[in-house]
Amino acid sequence: MSNTGSPCNGQPTQPNLGAVESTKTHGKPLWLLAELTYKCPLQCPYCSNPLDFADFAGELTTQEWLDVFQQGRDLGAVQLGFSGGEPLVRQDLIQLIGGAHEMGYYTNLITSGVGLNERKMAEFHQAGLDHIQVSFQASDESVNSMLSGSEKAFQQKLKMAREVKAQGYPMVLNFVTHRHNIDRIDRIIELCVELEADYVELATCQYYGWAYENVEQLLPTRAQLERAERITNEYREKLAAAGNPIKLIFVTPDYYEERPKRCMNGWGEVFLTVTPDGKALPCHSARMLPIEFPNVREMTLQQIWDDSPGFNHFRGLDWMKEPCRSCDEREKDLGGCHCQAYMLTGDAHNADPVCGKSPHHDLIVQARENAEHVVNNPEQFVYRNEKNSRIIAKG
């Protein structure tokens, strides 16, 4: 259930905020995800940034971000994620951390670790950074390099993960898993234990953005997934018995479900993303939808949250078509993910095809069957970089 605001594929489907039973939504944006930049030194083929990211120029300034943070805080936001792209690319990150901390946010830096060093980490801590999440592509250097498009990244990540703990931060390690690395889940978990992670997200790819472009080379088989889940459960028992407080969070890909996820715990219910150029979104994949979303340069966050057509679009149940409209589970899953419905069926108002009741469910079944036959071939990956982004954007 508990996925997070990780950008590294991280469709933040169910932020922890929604998963904690004692937490009720108050219909305010508790979680503000600040995508500070689309720039990133890595090229992960499952990045959740939009395919056409290279087309969006004009990043918000320091002052504009601080204004957005204050407005979010006034609306009740308490968790702030610095993400991207790679947020470390922003030279004013320390000012943004310091400002957000003073406003009372719990501040999360979601980073690849590339561009981080001991000194910066200590300065961030002093400025009030609460937590660092380091994303890994794999448990070993060669796979990590292949997936990130960087030779040196793996050693740097290990070093930074050790430093995060040495400096007393809580640490979440995020591994996006897929057919190329999921069979090494035992090694991944052992690496996380060795690095003394507090939380580990073993997040099977969610197929948005670049990951959708690469779904064939990413989607694991059912057997791979079941094995990984079984091994994870074995480790959970073993670690708990040994008194290790590490928490392993296993996120299954919804392609192997028969009912859709309650996406974002409800559209415009707890989560608000602001893109590098100021677009406000109810989830960080939503930019792909043919819906007009407001910009923080043109409206206040309160207007955006309460009044904008974009944020109201999928609130309530009135937008639903069949089979959702008359479904007795409609209030449970709210029709699932609108981006997935849009990508697979061309209409975001359709039921999420993950649902067995969707007339488009055969697309998911086909993808699963396809996964049984695909030959692993990293050369087929479309890597997330500016060149590919421009080619894709031109279509």
Partner 1 sequence: MSSQTEIVPDSIPALNKMFRFQWEKAQDCYVLLYPEGMIQLNGPAGEILALVDGQRNVSEITALLQAKFADAGDISADIIDFLGDAHEQHWITL
**Binding footprint of partner 1 on the chain (CB under 8 A):** 2, 4-5, 15-17, 19-20, 22-24, 26, 28, 30-31, 75-76, 78-79, 81, 104, 106, 108, 130-131, 133, 168, 170, 172, 198-199, 245
State the nearest-atom distance from the C-beta of 285 to partner 1, in Å: 18
State the nearest-atom distance from the C-beta of 341 to partner 1, in Å: 26
State the nearest-atom distance from the C-beta of 197 to partner 1, in Å: 10
DSSP of 106-126, one letter per residue? Answer: EEEEEE-STT--HHHHHHHHH
Please say which residue, 5 or 45, places its beta carbon nearer to partner 1: 5
Placement of tokens 């679009």 in the chain: 313
Residue 57: CB atoms within 10 Å: 8
What lies within 8 Å, CB to CB, of 75 at 6+ separation is 28, 29, 301, 302, 305
What lies within 8 Å, CB to CB, of 163 at 6+ separation is 116, 118, 121
State the nearest-atom distance from the C-beta of 174 to partner 1, in Å: 10
The DSSP bridge partners found for residue 32 are 80, 272
**How many angstroms separate the CA atoms of 271 and 23, rounded?**
14
Write phi, then psi, for 45 (nearest 5 degrees).
-75, 5
State the nearest-atom distance from the C-beta of 258 to partner 1, in Å: 28
State the nearest-atom distance from the C-beta of 19 to partner 1, in Å: 8
State the nearest-atom distance from the C-beta of 202 to partner 1, in Å: 15
Helix axes 153-166, 141-148, angle to 10 degrees: 110
Q: Which amino acid, residue 306?
A: D
Q: 205 and 138 in contact (C-beta within 8 Å)? A: no
Q: 351 and 324 in contact (C-beta within 8 Å)? A: yes
**How many angstroms separate the CA atoms of 37 and 87, rounded?**
6
**How many angstroms separate the CA atoms of 188 and 203, rounded?**
12
State the nearest-atom distance from the C-beta of 221 to partner 1, in Å: 30
Order of strands across the sheet that contains 106-111: 247-251, 199-204, 171-177, 131-136, 106-111, 79-83, 31-35, 271-274, 280-281
Q: 275 and 34 in contact (C-beta within 8 Å)? A: no
User: What is the distance, to the nearest Å, from the Cα of residue 88 to the centroid of all Cα atoms in its chain?
Assistant: 17
State the nearest-atom distance from the C-beta of 198 to partner 1, in Å: 6
Please say which residue, 15 or 268, places its beta carbon nearer to partner 1: 15
What lies within 8 Å, CB to CB, of 384 at 6+ separation is 40, 42, 43, 44, 45, 47, 49, 209, 210
State the nearest-atom distance from the C-beta of 386 to partner 1, in Å: 29
Please say which residue, 55 or 306, places its beta carbon nearer to partner 1: 306
Placement of tokens 């064939």 in the chain: 216
What lies within 8 Å, CB to CB, of 30 at 6+ separation is 15, 17, 76, 77, 78, 79, 270, 271
State the nearest-atom distance from the C-beta of 39 to partner 1, in Å: 23
